[in-house]
Amino acid sequence: MARSSKSKPDASVNSVAALRDGGAKSKSPKGAKGSNSGNWENVKAILWTLVIFLAIRTFLFEAYRIPSGSMIPTLLVGDWLFVNKLAYGPHVPFTDINLPGYAEPERGDVVVFKSPYQYDQPEDPHPTLVKRLVAVAGDTVYMRGGLFYLNGVAQPQPDAMNANPRADGSFSIPLFEWQREHQVSGTRFGEPPAIITLDDWGPLVVPPGHLFMLGDNRYDSKDGRYWGIVPRENVRGRPSFVYYSYVTAAESDRAMPFLTDIRWSRIGTVIK
């Protein structure tokens, strides 16, 4: 009997094909895994960068821009500062917790802090401000004729008072009424005025755990005379130096003044 012309498939060929197909299939999961691993490493690198940035910003340094002239000539509108948050103890965001610092705010320091409640600006009742600390807990403060007194001793006027003409400080507004709660009578510092004005107020005693702030540019500064004493826990840091400064658009006649009207001499200025 004649044999059929069909032959059985070569087993060796089938084995090679199977190995080839199997090998290809086994490589694809490994390749996908490698790709996913690479993507995850990139994500982790980004997350760690964010964590480090937020840690530095929260606990060490933060940038701050000067928006007003209340601290002229110490600080100018358009100055950008690095604020040392570790000095007085960093504040933990979204909490009432302040971590210990290596220093306490002292009279004469320039301080960044969260303002006490300002009911006249409901859109931002607790702005972050920078002013000069002029009195600490237990100090008695007052003004007579625009001259500031600390514990009965007249204090040197800021440079801004010499550079700018004296404005009219005889006005009285409801924002000053907070002072009555802290006024003292029958002391060697004299009696409080019947009408509280910008230039004549006090004597007041700064209560425990609080600080009193004024702007160097006294007649262009909405400061402690308006919104009161600052709780110690509101302190956010101490400005260290100016890292960038430019003439603002309101004062410059150049296009893009942040690039074309830079105050080169201000960069690196240590804040005192």
Which residues form the catalytic set? 70, 131
Q: Which of 221, 228, 222 is nearest to 204 (CA)?
A: 228
Cβ neighbours around 252 below 10 Å, total = 15
Q: Which two tokens stand for residue 259?
A: 């690039």
Cβ neighbours around 77 below 10 Å, total = 18
User: What's the rounded Cα separation, in Å, for the pair 181 and 237?
Assistant: 28
Residue 193 exposed, middle or buried by CB count within 10 Å (0-12, 13-18, 19+)? middle
